[in-house]
Amino acid sequence: MSVTSTLWTGVSGLLAHGEKMNVVGNNIANVNTVGFKSQRMDFADFVYQDAHSVAGTTQIGRGVKIGTIIGNFAQGAFETTTNATDLAIEGNGFFQVQAVGSDETYYTRAGNFTFDKEGYLKDPNGFALQGWRIDNSGGVMQATGGNATQVNASSGSTSPIKGTGVPTDIQLDTFTVFPQQTTKMDFKVNLPKSGADNAVNTSNPFAALFEQWNGNEAERADNVPPLAQTSYAEQTTMQIYDEAGVKHTITVYFDKVSSTDYEGGNSGEEVWEYIVTMDPAEDKRQFFDEATGELKNVNETSAGGMLMAGTLTFNSAGALVNQTAYTWGGTLNAEDNPEAYQPVPDPAGSLTDKQVIKLDPTNLANWQPAPISSNGYPIVVPNFSGILDAQTSGTQNGAKYNTEINFGLRASNLSQPWSSQGSLADLNVDPYMFNSGYKANDPTTGPEYIKLNDAYNAATEEKWLPNTGRYEINAAEAAWGALAGNALALYNDIEADLQTVSGVATLDQNNYWLALELNDVQSITIKAGEAGVNIPTQDITINLRTGEVTDSNGANLGNWGNANLAGFDSTNPANITYVAQQVNTALNNSRPKNLYLYQATDPANANLLADFNEPVVIEAYASTNLDGAFSSSNAQNGYGFGDLTSWNVDSDGILHGVYSNGVTLPLWQIAMYDFTNTQGLRREGNNLYSETLASGNPKQGAAGNSGLGNISSYTLEQSNVDLATEFVYMISTQRGYQSNSKMITTVDTMLETVINMKR
């Protein structure tokens, strides 16, 4: 070894510290560079030379060298800007940029992008940001036999990548949006537990709204709605769009089904019926009328504007647990059900006939469980344009108008979504009502559900309320009007019958019941000279409670059974019939609603509803049946024509276009990338990195997923250089450099001493 070797040790120190000062200087120089990631140089000791000592072989170092330069990829500070395409990554990941039309690929953290004149989203180097194009064509896929048939375009994917294909140059290549017809309507409502049952139908309580709807344009007077305001409890409306971008109004009406209107109504569940309707004047659906052999508009019938009828079932906690949905024609189609369709020549002149449905839209038997989309929602077909073969999903062009109805739950069994294929007509029963005075195992209270008198008129007469003090007498006829012909059976012993009215008189064992409130009519008066058989020679009054007969002065003439009534035989059947007629007249004149005959009957049964097969998928924000006021939050996916006015980027990296029609559409999704070894990336300058063998292949994904960071719009990531740290590095590097230079001057002095010795 020699002293001169020490010179090279010092030189290595000078070289190493000089390079480190370059790294520190580069960091400080880029303190304001967007997305810049600082570096740190680490030294490593150089070679060692063996030397011998008393203790044995030892080593003497010969200087220092650059060990490694580590990139600091820590998050930089965020700066707020006014440009929507200034993007910052919060977390791991890089943007990928490419030269337009080439495969020259780079990665960057600098998100200062802008659109050029051709609509490309580029960085300052002219490289285009990469992303997936998002398909906005919409559409609904209909599930038939478990297979999804695509209508327009749709994606049921749950992938975080919303775009399609491979990432490509992001470009705004159109600045207008063409109309898209509505293909999905979401109704998230709260139906109050205190809701009333306004629409009553004693034959089908689950279709009361349907039966009261009248969409016949010719029959309705000006400004008379197709459904009276008193016929429903709640309603909600929504603006939707047809294929030309024209707005139309859809209205959904709701009405509670009283728990006493169907068997099992005391289970704690609540059932609400609903109808989905459009303005009958805008309903352009047609059908083939077999009776006339002509095409007829649906709005020439009471079913005009009626799109769907069904029920929503809520549990005792107010959560939606099931629903039914019936549509005209249901899942029928011309191919499998040719008997339901009529070939009609194409008015446009095509050689192919149009298949037009010929089912009467007013017949409940033709309203069957609705077709189901591939997403599990029931489908309606609102036809605003009059397309001949677009009345139902089963017609040739009907599928183009498929529109999902979503109340917050959907079917999961797409091959057999409904529990039955029964129509609305299958829910019909004989007119009946609930006997609110019924007590189990007490035959004196009558049957639980009773058949209404055929002569009952719900429009003008009130319901019978057995628990209001009325008494019941078993009769032998189903209608009071026929009582005169059977008067002998009922009044053979009128005194005995009437005197047992405090209980329940049983004349025979049939199931007919007479509701009679004697508090309203306690007696009848027969005038002398009235038309009848064996008219009494004086006015008499018969007390219907006691059977006591009095004259016009109140004098007691005895009891009905033994009274000496001049010219009037109380045992004569004809006279008994006459008295029965007088009772009938008196009661009907007093209060007609108090006298009806009833029969035990089978009520409506909610188990016959064609609801979703289990398991049902209930969404997080499904409709509810909670205590409180009615509320509605609706949404749909259609829109009209519009011009691009602005754009924005969300945290998932989706670039949205904002249009003049008020619609915001997802256009592109920015692709994100990351590397297993970011230290292996090559710095290319201009805020760009390129992959190397050391970095490994990039991992691709969407922002906010798979360990990739979120994207923040109107924000730029600044350099992560810490000046305080860099100044410390600079001072320590300077001291190290000075020290190494001092070592060289010291060795030089030593060498000079050696040279002087020679002199």
What span, in angstroms and rounded, lies between the C-alpha atoms of 526 and 543? Answer: 12
Looking at residue 532, its pLDDT comes to: 60
- Range of lowest pLDDT (203-217, 359-373, 375-389, 668-682): 375-389
Across the range 176-193, mean pLDDT stands at 92
- The better pLDDT of the pair 291, 121 is held by 121
CB 146 within 8 A of CB 181: no
- Range of lowest pLDDT (66-80, 353-367, 402-416, 598-612): 598-612
What span, in angstroms and rounded, lies between the C-alpha atoms of 528 and 394? Answer: 73
Looking at residue 504, its pLDDT comes to: 33
Please report, rounded to a whole number, the percentage of residues in the chain having pLDDT higher than 70: 80
Give the chain's mean pLDDT: 81
The 3-state DSSP class for residue 583 equals: helix
Name the residue among 577, 473, 590 with its Cα closest to residue 521: 590
Provide the CB-side half-sphere exposure for 88 (13 A, CA).
Answer: 20
In the chain, what's the furthest Cα-to-Cα distance?
180
Q: Across 427-431, 608-612, 664-668, 741-745, which has the greatest mean pLDDT? A: 608-612
Looking at residue 600, its pLDDT comes to: 72
What tokens were used for 411? Answer: 């079917």
- The better pLDDT of the pair 34, 387 is held by 34
What span, in angstroms and rounded, lies between the C-alpha atoms of 415 and 338? Answer: 22
Provide the CB-side half-sphere exposure for 607 (13 A, CA).
Answer: 4
Q: Which residues contact 348 (CB under 8 A, 6 or more apart)?
A: none
pLDDT tens, 662-677? 888 899 999 999 999 9
**pLDDT exceeds cutoff 60 at 460:** no
Summarize the chain as % helix, strand, coil (round to 5): 20, 35, 45
Looking at residue 488, its pLDDT comes to: 30
What tokens were used for 134? Answer: 């998002």
CB 517 within 8 A of CB 466: no
pLDDT tens, 613-623? 999 999 998 99
**pLDDT exceeds cutoff 80 at 353:** yes
**How far is the CA of 124 from the CAs of 100, 650, 671, 678, in angstroms?**
13, 22, 19, 23
Confidence band of 138 (pLDDT split at 50, 70, 90):
low
- Range of lowest pLDDT (90-99, 162-171, 332-341, 745-754): 745-754
Name the residue among 258, 198, 204 with its Cα closest to residue 228: 198
Confidence band of 493 (pLDDT split at 50, 70, 90):
very low
What span, in angstroms and rounded, lies between the C-alpha atoms of 739 and 320? Answer: 80
Looking at residue 487, its pLDDT comes to: 31
Work out the angle between the directed axes of helices 723-758 and 3-29 (0-180°, nearest 10).
Answer: 160
What tokens were used for 478? Answer: 């189903």
**pLDDT exceeds cutoff 90 at 406:** yes
Q: Which residues contact 49 (CB under 8 A, 6 or more apart)?
A: 1, 5, 59, 60, 62
